[in-house]
Amino acid sequence: MPIFRRRKKPVTTELIVPKHVAIIMDGNGRWAQARGLPRIEGHRQGAQSVRRACEVCVEMGVQVLTLYCFSSENWKRPKEELDFLMKLLKQFLTQESKTLLEKNIRLTVIGRRDGLPSDVLEEMDLAIAKSASMTGLHLCLAINYGSRQEITDAVRSIAREVRAGTLAPDQIDETTISQHLYTADLPDPDLLIRTSGELRLSNYLLWQISYSELWITKRAWPEFSREDFLSAIEDYSKRHRRFGGL
């Protein structure tokens, strides 16, 4: 199924569009259970929302979209659900690879590779390589990701450089830490969206969202619509970002 469909209604061109939007895609399982469906059906429908989100970002000129696909804590879920999630991820990478190229979308992935099935890693690496030269939307998938483990990995990397004598402790500052995170080549998110109404960050981009604007909706991710995304951007456009100043 193609990612991009006909625009339903015109959008306001005067909006201040965030350069980087990060989304916590929450509520797939609960959405399904509330409708008497198996949890995996919620994940299947959630994939449709990914396509809609990409469509809006391309349309509105968002430069980076980072999606929280699978957290390092999600391994605690039942094996049946985990197997389906890995299958769904592989299917997305395989089926959407061509569309990413057609729409000039670059794909990257952040998180640890440990534990991910070899066939998923193969499709992931192939899609990343194919889209590496794309110059449009940068779609970043957070897979097997946790912010605390990311910061831990950054500290370890910095410690190794200090031990090797290539970095002095007094040279370590915020920029040094940012440059050692998985997101070193990305700007910090301007807008963080969370679906399903939960009021927590769930170990997601904790360093990077220090000054991000938050937008939370009670809608579950499978029902997150184009209009919802545009509402989030419109609300963001009205905010005054002071970054600690006046």
Does this model's pTM top 0.75? yes
Q: Where are the domains of the chain?
A: 16-145, 147-189
Average pLDDT, the chain: 93
The percentage of residues in the chain with a pLDDT greater than 90, rounded to a whole number, is 89
Q: Which of 74, 153, 188, 203 is catalytic?
A: 74
pLDDT tens digits along 9-39: 555 457 899 999 999 999 999 999 999 999 9
Radius of gyration of the chain (CA): 18
Helix (H, G, I), strand (E, B) or coil at 190: coil
Q: Which of 26, 28, 144, 190 is catalytic?
A: 26
Geometric angle at alpha carbon 141, from 10 and 192, rounded to 5°: 55
- Residue 222's nearest CA partner among 5, 8, 50 is 50
Pick the CATH number of 16-145 from 3.40.50.300, 3.40.1180.10, 3.30.230.10, 3.40.630.10: 3.40.1180.10
Helix (H, G, I), strand (E, B) or coil at 163: helix
Supply the pLDDT for residue 3. 45
Residue 244 CA to its chain's centroid (Å): 26
pLDDT tens digits along 108-124: 999 999 999 999 999 99
Is 235 a known active-site residue? no
- Residue 61's nearest CA partner among 142, 141, 135, 140 is 135
Is 188 a known active-site residue? no
Number of Cα atoms under 13 Å in the Cβ half of residue 146? 10
